[in-house]
Amino acid sequence: MSTFKAPKGTYDLIPPYSAKYLAVRDAISGPLRLSGYGYVETPGFEDVDLFARGVGESTDIVTKEMYTLTTKGGANLALRPEGTASVLRAALEANLHKAGGLPVKLWYSGSYYRYERPQKGRYRHFSQVGAEAIGAEDPALDAELIILADQAYRTLGLRNFRILLNSLGDKECRPVYREALQAFLRGLDLDEETVRRAEINPLRVLDDKRAEVQKQLVGAPMLRDYLCDACKAYHEEVRALITAAGVAFEDDEKLVRGLDYYTRTTFEFVHDGLGSQSAVGGGGRYDGLSEMIGGPALPSVGWALGVDRTVLALEAEGVELDIPPATSVFAVALGEAKPVLFGLVTELRKAGVAADISYGGKGLKGAMKDANRSGARFAIVAGDRDLAEGVVQLKDMESGEQGPVAVADVVGVLRTKLA
Ligand code: ATP
Ligand code: MG
């Protein structure tokens, strides 16, 4: 019989390894949940035009990386390659921007899909936690998001990451710069695709990773020299607020990022232990996106952090996450003791103690093996004679010490010992 494998570029999260992913998602969302961000969940697929317009026709995501499909009903859909366009679509559809005060602050967590060349840290199915603050132009909001991401990484124990920061200007100054850059790029010796890119989105050529392109970009006009006064002042305020929070960052004039919708503040979190897949997260301000997808003007800012790469970064730094064992108490029932111990396990679980029991009618040896394998701190062992005396044997799995405890006291005693 043939067997199946996970599709190319994907992998399964399996215990105990999968616990790291849960811990990373928790750590990233924790600071957001303490900062007024509400949880939002959107479908795994959307109208393909949402991404074509919202992410940008000239981006790698839209031109090469989207999984598209036509339904039996004739709708053109795409598996979501990123979160921002969907979250903004959902906020607009629910009129969240009219319901209460602005900004609308939302966070999300989920699966994203890109048809990429699979390699370490680059998959066709991956996982992000993201945050969006919709409908306010305030440097404190840009700063807040950068500070919260920094806090999330630090809570996890990550140290060797850097924050790269830039401003992409706005609709006043960016067009002027764009033209200057285009004029410069037209004078270079570039391949056909890059020439085309230079016409559609010249800023993205700056982001080209190829050495032969980078070599020619020396002397290119820099956006910093074209920023209007409003953009300059805005950027300085963001920088001052982050600095005051004690968060270190590097100014990176070449940082443009792959999406078309960014304006002003742009940032990326990079980790130096990940080789060429160094970006663990990124984001920025996207003041024009709402209008691009048919909404009102809603200046917004957000980020998305990659869970897969964050896990790899933790491994690269040798950080061991403090993940509590899945099971604290393991029950081993002998003779006719199963119903009583099963009842105790149920009570322990109700009391919030992680408890499990041996299944499959094993003898003492096999059941104790299960107890050891579970990583439990304590085992409760009982046979007919113990129950006749109204006790179970409580075994400390670390010291090996063992003694009787009255059945009625087991839950209380264990809660105290584990507290
Ligand atoms: P890259 O330049 O590495 O392709 P990106 O700019 O396309 O990254 P974003 O769209 O900003 O990435 O997504 C935010 C984060 O999601 C990235 O920093 C990364 O951690 C993660 N990510 C993006 N694409 C992938 C992928 N194919 N596999 C795993 N993680 C990914
Ligand atoms: Mg990419």
Dump the DSSP string for 158-200: --SEEEEEEE---TTTHHHHHHHHHHHHHTS---HHHHHHHHH
User: Measured in whole angstroms, how far is the alpha carbon of residue 187 from the centre of its chain?
Assistant: 40
Q: Which atom of ligand 1 is nearest to the CA of 258?
A: 6
Say what the pLDDT of residue 207 is.
82
Say what the pLDDT of residue 405 is.
98
In angstroms, what is the span from residue 57 Cα to ligand 2's centroid?
A: 14
Say what the pLDDT of residue 247 is.
98
pLDDT in tens, 5-57: 999 999 999 999 999 999 999 999 999 999 999 999 999 999 999 999 988 87
Say what the pLDDT of residue 259 is.
67
Q: Which atom of ligand 1 is nearest to the CA of 257?
A: 6
Pick from 394, 293, 416: nearest CA to 46: 293
Give the three-class secondary structure for 332: strand
User: Measured in whole angstroms, how far is the alpha carbon of residue 145 from the centre of its chain?
Assistant: 14
Residue 260 has pLDDT above 80, yes or no: no
User: Computed from CA positions of residues 73, 76, 79, 83, in that sequence, does the dihedral angle turn out positive or negative?
Assistant: negative
Average pLDDT, the chain: 95
List of residues 6+ apart from 410 with CB closer than 8 A: 344, 348, 380, 392, 394
Q: How far apart are CA 114 and CA 331, in angstroms?
A: 45
Say what the pLDDT of residue 208 is.
85
Give the ligand at the shortest distance from the Cα of 267. Answer: 1
CATH topology of domain 18-170+227-317: BirA Bifunctional Protein; domain 2 (3.30.930)
Average pLDDT over residues 174-188: 93
Residue 1 has pLDDT above 80, yes or no: no
pLDDT in tens, 63-78: 899 999 999 999 999 9
In angstroms, what is the span from residue 216 Cα to ligand 2's centroid?
A: 23
Confidence of residue 333 (pLDDT cuts 50, 70, 90): very high
| 287-291: long-range contacts, CB 8 A cutoff, minimum separation 24 | 287/137, 287/170, 287/171, 287/263, 288/171, 288/261, 288/263, 289/54, 289/84, 289/85, 289/88, 289/261, 290/88, 290/92, 290/134
CB-CB contact of 356 with 374 (8 Å): yes
Say what the pLDDT of residue 204 is.
84
Q: How many CB atoms lie under 10 A from the CB of residue 147?
A: 20
Pick from 80, 102, 104: nearest CA to 91: 104
Location of structure tokens 């409760």: 380
Domain ranges of the chain: 18-170+227-317, 174-222, 329-418
Q: Which atom of ligand 1 is nearest to the CA of 304?
A: 14
In angstroms, what is the span from residue 94 Cα to ligand 1's centroid?
A: 28
List of residues 6+ apart from 325 with CB closer than 8 A: 354, 374, 375, 376, 377
Residue 103, preceding bond cis, omega within 30 degrees?
Answer: yes
Residue % of the chain over a pLDDT of 70: 99
From atom 17 of ligand 1, which residue's Cα is the shortest distance away? 281
From atom 7 of ligand 1, which residue's Cα is the shortest distance away? 258
Say what the pLDDT of residue 257 is.
73
In angstroms, what is the span from residue 53 Cα to ligand 1's centroid?
A: 19
Q: Which atom of ligand 1 is nearest to the CA of 130?
A: 14
Give the ligand at the shortest distance from the Cα of 279. Answer: 1
CATH topology of domain 329-418: Rossmann fold (3.40.50)
Query: For 114, how many CA atoms within 13 A lie in the half-sphere containing its CB?
Result: 22
What is the β-pairing status of strands 38-39 and 104-113?
parallel
Location of structure tokens 């046979």: 383
Amino acid letter for position 160: N
Q: Which atom of ligand 1 is nearest to the CA of 277?
A: 3
User: Computed from CA positions of residues 73, 44, 146, 104, in that sequence, does the dihedral angle turn out positive or negative?
Assistant: positive
Give the CA distances from residue 42 to residues 135, 166, 308, in Å, rounded to whole numbers and listed in that order.
Answer: 19, 30, 20
Average pLDDT over residues 297-309: 97
Q: Which atom of ligand 1 is nearest to the CA of 122?
A: 28
Say what the pLDDT of residue 60 is.
85
Say what the pLDDT of residue 218 is.
92
Average pLDDT over residues 185-207: 89
Give the ligand at the shortest distance from the Cα of 277. Answer: 1
Give the ligand at the shortest distance from the Cα of 123. Answer: 1
Spell out which residues line ligand 1, taking CB within 6 angstroms.
82, 114, 116, 121-123, 126, 128, 257-258, 277, 279-282, 304, 306, 308-309
Confidence of residue 256 (pLDDT cuts 50, 70, 90): confident
Backbone phi and psi for residue 92, each to the nearest 5 degrees, phi listed first: -65, -45
From atom 23 of ligand 1, which residue's Cα is the shortest distance away? 306
pLDDT in tens, 359-369: 998 999 999 99
From atom 28 of ligand 1, which residue's Cα is the shortest distance away? 122
Confidence of residue 232 (pLDDT cuts 50, 70, 90): very high
Query: Which one of 28, 128, 208 would you pick to mutate in the ligand 1 pocket, going by the greatest count of ligand atoms within 8 A of its CB?
Result: 128
Give the ligand at the shortest distance from the Cα of 204. Answer: 1
Pick from 129, 142, 143: nearest CA to 83: 129
Question: Between residues 334 and 276, which one has the greater pLDDT?
Answer: 334
What is 67-124 written as a DSSP string?
A: -EEE-TT--EEEE-S-SHHHHHHHHHHTTHHHHSSS-EEEEEEEEEE-----BTTB-S
Give the ligand at the shortest distance from the Cα of 309. Answer: 1
Location of structure tokens 């050495």: 211
pLDDT in tens, 98-155: 988 999 999 999 999 999 999 999 999 999 999 999 999 999 999 999 999 999 999 9
Query: Which one of 61, 309, 311 would you pick to mutate in the ligand 1 pocket, going by the greatest count of ligand atoms within 8 A of its CB?
Result: 309
**3-state SS string over 2-58?**
CCCCCCCCCCCCCCCCHHHHHHHHHHHHHHHHCCCCEECCCCCEEEHHHHHHHCCCC
For helices 307-316 and 18-33, the axis angle rounded to 10 degrees is 110
Say what the pLDDT of residue 258 is.
62
From atom 8 of ligand 1, which residue's Cα is the shortest distance away? 279
Residue 59 has pLDDT above 90, yes or no: no
